[in-house]
Every structure is written in structure tokens, then in C-alpha cells.
Amino acid sequence: MLSRIAEALFWIGRYVERAEDTARLLDVQLQLLVEDPWLDEQTACANLLAVMGAPMEVSEDGSVPPADRRTVLERLGYDPFSSASIVASIGGARENARRARETVSTEMWEVLNTAYNAVPSGRWRAVSPHTFFAWVRDRTSTVTGIADSTMSRDDGWLFLTLGRSIERADMTARLITSTASLGGPASRWPSLLRACGAHETFLRTYRGLEDETEAAEFLLLDRLFPRSIVHALAQAEKCLADLESSGQRAGVFDEAQRRLGRARAELEYRPFADVLAHLPDEMERVQRTCSAASDAVTRRYFSSAEALTWVGGMS
């Protein structure tokens, strides 16, 4: 497969997943600001922007302007010039689909193009944020469903799934960090489970119990839930193994696969109490691993392309 096409499919997977997960994260965080009277809005919004790699810039007098929910919505939702925003992610997915137009199906192109063209109208600023986030989840889920049902399971599919899986592990880590950084009541974890579409599955798995530790364990370590970090890392590993055509019998020589496998093993085989005790640091390590793995994939498969990275200090 041409490296240009492979790179475009890889980044379609990443951008679509990024748009969906950012919508999920904003939906739950803004809801918590409404429901929790003890939560300081400026601190919560500043932490969220930092977690997403879009912190407030220092002004000329050396102070940091206060952040509020309107700032968060603008920078992470609607701003086309903010690389961390939903609108920018939709634009990035559409641009990469245009570059790979001969490979993506007509249905996938139409969904991405329609979503992209719906943004400049400005109508989403006139409706509630929840309506906008629901629309984003609907569009991105449609793209994922079309890809699942129309793409051959060849190298193109592997690159698309690889990008989606790396981004999913990264964004789930950011979701967990954004909730853990708030501290306070464990009642915030069910909101996080709902943001990941995991609440009902979690209740079935743990027989109706809602516990902070078990919620964290489910989102980090569950091998069967597709949005858990371990599942996403394992899926990315499998894609890289399937792309490896040398048929090697010993060891792992692919740098990206080695990094992802080590991160997954460190989460799975360490006592969970140790992971939970240093949760923000562990999630930052996952994000750095995903960034390093993405860079390694770029160097190996997209050697003629300039590497694209996440935003913020963890990219």
C-alpha cells in the first residue's frame, strides 16, 4: 500500500476517534460543573484544558487568564484553529479522507464531508452543548460503522484500526485523568463510565455494584470492553503484528509494537493498587507511550511524510 494512503487512513482513524472522545469528555465534564456545587469551575476548566494539551496562555503581565466553561467549549469544541477541538478533528478526518478518496468508500466520504460542511454554518453555537456533542457522537459512530461494514480486512483496514486504537487508549487515559484530577466524591466515576458508554456493561460485569476502584479497574484493565486502555493497546498491538510480514519467530523488533506491549503489560501485571495509587502518572505514561508509538509508526510506514502529533507537552 502507498504510504500516502496508509498515512491518510491511519489519521482518519485517529481524528474520528479524537472527535468522538472529546465530545464524550466535554459532555461529562460540563455536566459535572452543573451538578456539583462544590466543584470550583475555574480550577476544573483549567485542569481540563491542561489534560487536553490546550492550557491557557500566559498573558504579557505574567498572569494566567481564568478559564470557564465558555472558554473550554470554544477551545475544545468549536474553534477550527485549535488543534485540540472537535471541529478541527472533523476537519482533519475529512482532509485525510479527501487525500485517500480512491480508497475510502463513498458512504464514508459523504458522512465526513457532510459533517465538515455542517460546521461553518454556526448553528451548533445556537443549540445546547449536549445537542452538539450528541451530533458529533452520532456522526463519528456512523463513520466507524461504515468502515466496519464496507472495508476489506487488508492493510488499509489495519492502518485505520491502528490509528483508532492508539487514539482510543490515549483519550481514555485523558478521560480518566480529567476525572481523577477533580478529586472529591466517587459519584463522579459513574459519570465517567457513561461518558465512555461503559455504565451498563460495567454494572453487568460487577453485578450492579458501583465502586470507584472497580470503575477504574474496568476502564483500565478489562480485556473485553473495547474502550478500556488494555483492550485498545492490545488491538493496536494486533494490528502491528498483522502488518509485520517478516514472519519472525522470536522477539518483537517493531518499536511501536514493543512500546505498546510494554505499556499494556505494566498495567496488566502490576498490582492494581500500585497503579491506582499513582493514577495521574500512569495515565500520563500511557499518553506518552501512544505518542511515541505513533511517531514510530510514522517513521516506519510513512517515511516520506512529516510526522503529525497530538497537542500539548505529551505529544
231-250 pLDDT, tens digit each: 999 999 999 999 986 555 55
Say yes or no to pLDDT of 184 above 70: no
Confidence grade of residue 89 (pLDDT, cut at 50, 70, 90) = very high
pLDDT of res. 185: 53
pLDDT of res. 182: 65
Place of cell 457522537: 137
Residues contacting 83, CB < 8 A, separation 6+: 54, 311
DSSP-based three-state secondary structure for 13: helix
pTM summary value? 0.89
pLDDT of res. 112: 95
Confidence grade of residue 308 (pLDDT, cut at 50, 70, 90) = low
- Give the Å distances, CA to CA, from 65 to 42, 45, 61, 217, 278: 10, 12, 10, 36, 29
Q: Where are the domains of the chain?
A: 3-55+66-301
Say yes or no to pLDDT of 172 above 50: yes
